[in-house]
Amino acid sequence: MPRPKRWGEAELARLSAMVDQPSLFYWNGAQTQALLQEFRRHCPMEHAFPTSSGTAALHVAVASLRLQPGDEVIVPAITDMGSVIGILFQQAVPVFADVEPLSINLDPADVRRRLTARTRAIMPVHFFGTPCDMHALRAIAAERGLAVIEDCAQAWGARWQGQPVGTIGDLAAFSFNDFKHVSCGDGGVVVARSAQAGRELSRWGDKDYDRATGRRNPAELALNYRMSEPQAAVAAAQLTRLSAIVAARRRAGERLAAGLNSMPGVLLPEVRPGDEASYWFTFFRIEPDRFHVSRDAMVNELVAEGVPAEAGFIPCPVYRYDVFQNHNFFGGRWPVKDLGLTRMDYREVSCPAAETVLADAVRLTINEAMDDAYIDDVAHAIRTVLQRRTR
């Protein structure tokens, strides 16, 4: 499999400049300012705060809502733990909703079914770089006065109806984790649409200190999620490559989908008309009854043919993780449940579409080093395996 060279002269130049700085602290740091400038070329949001990770960015976003213990945030059943950690630490309740079968994004119809009097926010996750149905989700939020937090960790460069993801909801979070489109090892950015929320982002990520005035008398309990100047230097250089990275991945992802189109027993991912996916990875689903072997056996055959394939995405829906099944969030306890502030029992949660997707989906690696010839070889190998295993 072709692999891109991810770091080079651009990162070295910024790191060399950083070494000559008198300080590596983020506040007014040259590298942090450069990072924000480059970030806004892709996500034109005035109010932004760099963080130590994408998980930290989401936690800052959730904390800025000032949720009360027992308040609920609706999240998709297929996501990363980073989407829910901040919710739990703010003593709020993640409410898992089902996903759309062909986008694997939050299903607006199921979101409606999960609404309660305690719902305060919706967190759409633009899974594998495909924009969620933000029109439907924003409509639900507007009807109920809910906040929308976009989880853009997997969706650098994706666009919903021409708008960059991260500019549509009330708040949004991005990740510079090592496995994302662009990376500084770990890091993130949180953004806010309103000036009021934007002014508070740095407070929630910097111990409720006011760096502009020098005030160090916190009024609220906040976190230390600051990014450092070395991280910012690498991330700023990475963002200069983002457009080219996304263009190459989009070309590869769309070409692979075209190469697998009309294959019997294969369900391809759905990108809505007017949206642009950025292909953190891609996938296809199989109709098990159409083949002689299981999904897992098929993946083994694909790997043997040289296809960069994996079975599913995560081992099970997040609500089936041990930590949720045992409600083991704080020393074996869940305070909001012990105090009667929620009746949620994750042992009773069911999201049938999410469970089916994880049982029959095949994940395929996409990266910017894959040229047309390689993608055509992958498509040919997949077709070969599927055809010889079709009933």
Kindly report, residue by residue over 135-185, the tens digit of the pLDDT. Answer: 999 999 999 999 999 999 999 999 999 999 999 999 999 999 999 999 999
- Which are the contacts of 112, defined by CB distance < 8 A and separation ≥ 6? 140
Where does CATH 3.40.640.10 sit in the chain? 9-242
Q: Using DSSP bridges, classify how beta strands 119-122 and 147-151 pair: parallel, antiparallel or unpaired.
A: parallel
Nearest to residue 65, comparing CAs of 176, 220, 186?
220
The CATH class that applies to domain 243-314+353-389 reads alpha beta
Mean of the pLDDT values across residues 294-316? 95
Where does CATH 3.90.1150.10 sit in the chain? 243-314+353-389
Mean of the pLDDT values across residues 10-35? 96
Q: What is the pLDDT of residue 97?
A: 98
9-242 is classed CATH 3.40.640.10: yes
DSSP, residue by residue, 72-108:
EEEEESSS-THHHHHHHHTT-EEEEE-B-TTT-SB-H
Query: Mean pLDDT over all residues of the chain?
Result: 96
Residues 337-370 pLDDT 10s = 999 999 999 999 999 999 999 999 999 999 999 9
This model's pTM is above 0.85: yes
Q: What is the pLDDT of residue 197?
A: 85
Tally of CA atoms within 13 A in the half-sphere of 348 that contains its CB: 3
H or E stretch covering 258: helix 242-260
- Which are the contacts of 115, defined by CB distance < 8 A and separation ≥ 6? 74, 140, 144
Residues 219-267 pLDDT 10s = 999 999 999 999 999 999 999 999 999 999 999 999 999 999 989 999 9
Q: Using DSSP bridges, classify how beta strands 119-122 and 72-76 pair: parallel, antiparallel or unpaired.
A: parallel
Q: What is the pLDDT of residue 236?
A: 98
Tally of CA atoms within 13 A in the half-sphere of 366 that contains its CB: 30
